[in-house]
Amino acid sequence: MLGLTGSIGMGKSATAAMFAARGVPVHDADAAVHGLYGPGGEAARAIGKAFPGTLSADGGVDRARLRAAVLDHPERMAALEALVHPLVRAVGRAFLARHADAPLVLLDIPLLYETGGEGRCDAVLVVTAPPEVQRARVLARPGMTDAALAAILAKQMPDAEKRARADYVIDTSLGFAAAEAEVGRIIEDTGGMSQR
Residue 112 above 70 pLDDT? yes
For the segment(s) 1-25+103-196, the CATH number from 3.40.50.300, 3.90.180.10, 1.10.1040.10, 3.40.640.10 is 3.40.50.300
Q: Phi first, then psi: what are they for 21, rounded to 5°?
A: -65, -20
CA distances from 147 to 45, 93, 111, 138, 158 (A): 30, 35, 20, 12, 17
Confidence bin at 194 (pLDDT 50/70/90): very low
Identify the three-state secondary structure at position 107: strand
pLDDT at position 151 is 86
pLDDT tens for 5-44 read 999 999 999 999 999 999 999 999 989 999 999 999 999 9
CA distances from 130 to 11, 146, 168 (A): 12, 17, 17
CA pair distance 100, 94, nearest whole angstrom:
10
pLDDT at position 177 is 96
The pTM (predicted TM-score) of the whole model is 0.85
* Torsional class of 192: left (φ above 0), alpha (ψ -120 to 50), beta (otherwise): alpha
Residue 62 above 60 pLDDT? yes
pLDDT at position 182 is 97
Residue 172 near residue 127 (C-beta atoms within 8 A): yes
Confidence bin at 83 (pLDDT 50/70/90): very high
Residue spans per domain, the chain: 1-25+103-196, 29-98
Residue 161 above 80 pLDDT? yes
Residue 54 near residue 61 (C-beta atoms within 8 A): yes
Confidence bin at 193 (pLDDT 50/70/90): low
Direct distance between the N- and C-terminal alpha carbons of the chain, in angstroms, rounded to an integer: 7
